Each structure stands twice: as structure tokens, then as C-alpha cells.
């Protein structure tokens, strides 16, 4: 079966293809840098990371653009309250976002683009919309007249029967089910940061920035546009209205949306006290690889219930995978090859591929991994797993980890490199042999402090990171 995705636009699972048969032109809505991103946002970004990796595994080249929204209502309000210049305020959170992304091992898109660096292009697009009769001016701001675009609502599939023509909204975000003409260029109010342009001093609305930056770098028609489900309406609907009014071409062929993240079964909100950023969880002592593993463990189109029990369980599952890898790397095995076990590894990988091809069903793919690991561990215990099975099993894990990227332990600050650990382990073995137990204990304690666990096995001293 071919690679296929659920397309929000058609509400169907569709076979995937690109326009040129090779490169995926992909746009994803990036963070609004007015605060640290929360784990709900990070779920969406982690889904996009897996999407990138799976598309590449399937032989596609990637041209992925992500925007940084660095001008917007909340940003301006917060920056002005703190008496800061816009860039001074946003750069802190932009840097923080990139640090969080690195901690979660999210690949960088081919291009990260800032809204404030594309104001002339946005003004140009607004003028094109004006020339096409899609805009009107009111109290110094420019609005998009959605009644002029009959296909409005095709993505969100909302009923706009009760829509009031001419009712307009000039905030960047508004409530669901409330279709109104939205602002393209906002007239400057007292003291706000602003850009000069044909409509007077002001700034762009949030929606126009994504249309403009997507088409500037990816062309008039994208292959994939992705984002969180809450962006479907109005943001993505408005992106379509703007872009297609300018080009008269389909804006994006596939629309992929990640579902919400719940915390302990409830909607995450500051008032419920269950609102978490990555930093909050790291401060509580959770490891970013465990968090990544939890965020990728459910299918992206199901609501993810983020719980601390779930994190603990995920940490145990990860430990099981790493222990299996360690056994594969260090166990002494009998000679020969067990063909049935090699076939088992291949079948497990086929099941993994089939699940991922099926709209990125990560839960199904992980199921295939854990079943295989259980069987292989049983075979190792029984002595049926032999030398000829080692390479296939290691390759299986390497392929898995090129997508999920969780097996590598987190580098700790002030931690030891693998070579440094090995040198200490060797020294400890030598100290024990020489009956220098003082030194041997000293090394064990030092390693424990650095999060390294020693295991005495039949095959000698083995170590792993906690």
C-alpha cells in the first residue's frame, strides 16, 4: 500500500504524491514568540518532525518552511507593557523555542522565516487582493471581504449561513463558528510598532503572513500544509481565501492537522493549573527523550492524554528498548544463524512500515516494535538468538531510531563521554583485579553521580546511562 494521509480538505485518507514526484513542498505554522511554547504546541511540532522523517525515509526530498510569528496582538501588548522593542522581546522566546526544539530532537525545517522580515511582500499581496476586489478599507485598516470568495469555509466545513456581510474583526484570533471579514492591514494605534506602507502606518494581520511566506518560498501550490487542529479555522481557512484569491490556484493539496493534547483528561489551561511548558517538565526532572517518546506514542489525529503515569510508563518502555540494544551490542552469542528470527525481524519492520504509511500511525508502528523486542528477548534468554541474528536486529533498531530518535540517551551537562566512561570502567576492572577496592568503589560512586550504572554480567562489566 502506498503512503497515505488523511486530508482535512477532502475529509478522506488519500494516497500521497508530490507535484514534481520528488520534493515535498511543505509549510507548517510555527510558534508565536510571545511566551514559551506549551506541550500542546510541542505535540504538533513533534508530529511534524516524524512526518519529515517518514517522508524522507520514503525517498522524498524536503523543502519545509516554518514561520516565526514575531508580530501579533499578544506580542505587541506584552512588549509594550515591558517597555521593550519588538525584536528585543521576541528574540528571547524565539531562542527559547529553538532550544526546546533541539531538546526534543526536532529537525530544523529547511527554512525558518520571520514575519517582520516580509512586510513588503505582505503589502504587495494586500495590493493584489485590493486589485481583485477582495478588500475594503474601514477606519484606516484593510479588511478581507469573505463574501467575495464563494469557496470560503471549504476547509473547516462550517456553515456560514448566518454570516453577516460586512461584520468584521480586527483581532488576530477569534472564536470558532464566527466567520467575519478579517483584517489584512491594521492601522497603527498609539505608540504601537508600525511599518509605513500605501495604507498608512500599520502592521499586517496574522493570516496574511503565512500565505505570503508560504508562496514566496514554496510556489503557488504547496504539497502539504500542516498545523494544530485549532488553526483549521479561522487561520487556515483565511490562508486559503487570501492565497487562492491571488493565484486562482489550489493553495495546498494536502492539509494535515494534529489533534489536541489533554492533560490528565482535561483541557490544558492556566486556570486549571495543568498548563506545562517543556521547561516546567524538565524542572520536575523528566527527561526530554521520555517526553518526545510520549508525544509520538499516539496517532497524531487522536487526542493525546498527557499524564504523569504515562510519562513513567514511557520511561520504562524506553528503558526496555535501550536494554535490548545494549544486549545486542554486548552479549556473547553462539555461532550460526536462526533464519526464523531474521524473518521475524523483517516481518516486524514490514508491519512498522505499513503502520507509518497508514497516515503515520505511530501507535501501530510502536506496537510492532515492542512485539518484536519481546520475542527477541525471549529468544536471547533461551539461547536461540545467535550471532547471525545480531546484525538484523541492530539494523531494525537503527531504522526505528532514525524516525523516533529516542534511543540515544540525553547528554547531561558536565556529563562524561562514552570514551571517558569506558576508560573509568576499564580502570575499575583493573583496580578490582589488583584488589585496590578503595579505588574501585571511588570509580563506582563517581560514575553513579554522573548517571552511569554498572552491571556485572557473565560477559564482564557492562555500563549504561540512567
Q: Does 210 bind Zn ion (CB under 5 A)?
A: yes
Q: Residue 157 has what DSSP assignment?
A: T
Which helix H or strand E contains 288, and what residues bound it? helix 288-296
Check residue 214 for interaction with Zn ion (CB under 5 A).
Answer: no
CB of 155 to Zn ion, least distance (A): 13
Q: Assess 208 for contact with Zn ion (CB under 5 A).
A: no
Residue 29 interacts with Zn ion (CB under 5 A): yes or no: yes
Residue number with CB closer to Zn ion (202 or 205)? 205
The smaller minimum CB distance to Zn ion, of residues 43 and 103, is found at 43
Q: Report how many residues bind Zn ion under the rule CB under 5 A.
A: 2
State the angle between helix axes of 387-404 and 362-381 in degrees (0 to 180), rounded to the nearest 10.
160
CB–CB of 104/143 below 8 Å?
A: no
Strand intervals (E) in 134-289: 135-138, 141-144, 168-169, 181-187, 202-204, 222-228, 252-258, 261-263, 266-267
Residue 411 CB, shortest distance to Zn ion, in Å, is 33
Which H helix or E strand runs over 68?
A: strand 61-68
**Residue with smaller CB distance to Zn ion, 129 or 222:** 222
Q: For residue 86, give every residue at least 6 positions away whose Cβ sits within 8 Å of its Cβ, in sequence order, or none.
A: 70, 71, 75, 76, 79, 116, 193
Q: Which is nearer to Zn ion, 70 or 405 (CB)?
A: 70
| Residue matched to cell numbers 493539496 | 253
User: Which stretch, 23-31, 71-79, 132-140, 348-356, contacts Zn ion (CB under 5 A)?
Assistant: 23-31
Cα–Cα distance, 142 to 202 (Å, whole number): 10
Query: Smallest distance from the beta carbon of 199 to Zn ion, in angstroms?
Result: 22
240 binds Zn ion (CB under 5 A): no
Nearer to Zn ion, 29 or 183 (CB): 29
Alpha-carbon dihedral sign for residues 67, 73, 75, 79: positive
Question: Judged by CB under 5 A, which stretch of 54-62, 73-81, 210-218, 347-355 contacts Zn ion?
Answer: 210-218
- Distant-in-sequence, close-in-space partners of 355: CB < 8 Å, separation ≥ 6: 361, 362, 363, 364, 365, 367, 368
Give the residue from 349, 297, 332, 298 showing the smallest Cα distance to 318. Answer: 297
Least Å distance, CB 241 to Zn ion, is 13
By the rule CB under 5 A, 71 interacts with Zn ion? no
**Does residue 261 belong to the site contacting Zn ion (CB under 5 A)?**
no
202 vs 227 by CB, closer to Zn ion: 227
- Closest approach of Zn ion to the CB of residue 232, in Å: 11
CB closer to Zn ion out of 251 and 286? 251
Cell numbers found for residue 193: 510598532
Q: Does residue 369 touch Zn ion according to CB under 5 A?
A: no
| Residue among 246 and 281 whose Cβ is closer to Zn ion | 246
Find the shortest distance in angstroms from Cβ 149 to Zn ion: 18
Backbone angles phi, psi at 104, to 5 degrees: -85, 5
Q: How far is the CB of 214 from Zn ion (least distance, A)?
A: 8
Interface positions with Zn ion (CB under 5 A): 29, 210
Amino acid at each position: 500500500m502506498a503512503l497515505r494521509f488523511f486530508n482535512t480538505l477532502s475529509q478522506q485518507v488519500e494516497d500521497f504524491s508530490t507535484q514534481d514526484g520528488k520534493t515535498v513542498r511543505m509549510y507548517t505554522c510555527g510558534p508565536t514568540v510571545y511566551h514559551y511554547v506549551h506541550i500542546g504546541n510541542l505535540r504538533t511540532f513533534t508530529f511534524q518532525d516524524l512526518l519529515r522523517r517518514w517522508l524522507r525515509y520514503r525517498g522524498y526530498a524536503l523543502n519545509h518552511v516554518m514561520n516565526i510569528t514575531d508580530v501579533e496582538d499578544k506580542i505587541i501588548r506584552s512588549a509594550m507593557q515591558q517597555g521593550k522593542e519588538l525584536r528585543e522581546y521576541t528574540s528571547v522566546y524565539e531562542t527559547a523555542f529553538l532550544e526546546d526544539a533541539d531538546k526534543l530532537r526536532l529537525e530544523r525545517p529547511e527554512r525558518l522565516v520571520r514575519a517582520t522580515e516580509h512586510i513588503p511582500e505582505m503589502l504587495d499581496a494586500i495590493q493584489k487582493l485590493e486589485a481583485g476586489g477582495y478588500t475594503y478599507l474601514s477606519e484606516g485598516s484593510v479588511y478581507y471581504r469573505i463574501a467575495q470568495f464563494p469557496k470560503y469555509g471549504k476547509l473547516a466545513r462550517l456553515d456560514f449561513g448566518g454570516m453577516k456581510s460586512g461584520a468584521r474583526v480586527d483581532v488576530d484570533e477569534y472564536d470558532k463558528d464566527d466567520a467575519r471579514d478579517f483584517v489584512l492591514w491594521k492601522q497603527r494605534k498609539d505608540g504601537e510598532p508600525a511599518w509605513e506602507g500605501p495604507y498608512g502606518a500599520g502592521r499586517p494581520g496574522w493570516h496574511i503572513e503565512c500565505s505570503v511566506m508560504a508562496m514566496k518560498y514554496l510556489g503557488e501550490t504547496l504539497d502539504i500544509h500542516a498545523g494544530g487542529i485549532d488553526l483549521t479555522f479561522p487561520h487556515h481557512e483565511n490562508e486559503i481565501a487570501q492565497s487562492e484569491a491571488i493565484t486562482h490556484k489550489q493553495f495546498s493539496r494536502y492539509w494535515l492537522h494534529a489533534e489536541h493534547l489533554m492533560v490528565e483528561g482535561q483541557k490544558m489551561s492556566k486556570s486549571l493549573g495543568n498548563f506545562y511548558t517543556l521547561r516546567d517538565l524538565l524542572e520536575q526532572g523528566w527527561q526530554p527523550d521520555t517526553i518526545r517518546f510520549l508525544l509520538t506514542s499516539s496517532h497524531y489525529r487522536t487526542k493525546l492524554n498527557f499524564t504523569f503515569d504515562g510519562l513513567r510508563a514511557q520511561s520504562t518502555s524506553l528503558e526496555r528498548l535501550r536494554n535490548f540494544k545494549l544486549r545486542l551490542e554486548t552479549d556473547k552469542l553462539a555461532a550460526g544463524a536462526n533464519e526464523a528470527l531474521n524473518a521475524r525481524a523483517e516481518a516486524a519492520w514490514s508491519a512498522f512500515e505499513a503502520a507509518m504509511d497508514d497516515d503515520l500511525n505511530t501507535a501501530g508502528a510502536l506496537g510492532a516494535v515492542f512485539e518484536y523486542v519481546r520475542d527477541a528477548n525471549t529468544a536471547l534468554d533461551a539461547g536461540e538468538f545467535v550471532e547471525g541474528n545480531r546484525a538484523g536486529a541492530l539494523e531494525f533498531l537503527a531504522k526505528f531510531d532514525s524516525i523516533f530518535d529516542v534511543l540515544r540517551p540525553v547528554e547531561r551537562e558536565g556529563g562524561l563521554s562514552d570514551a571517558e566512561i569506558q576508560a573509568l570502567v576499564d580502570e575499575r576492572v583493573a583496580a578490582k583485579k589488583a584488589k585496590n577496592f578503595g579505588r574501585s568503589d571511588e570509580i563506582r560512586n563517581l560514575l553513579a553521580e554522573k548517571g552511569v550504572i554498572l552491571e556485572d554480567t557473565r560477559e564482564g562489566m557492562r555500563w549504561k546511562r540512567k
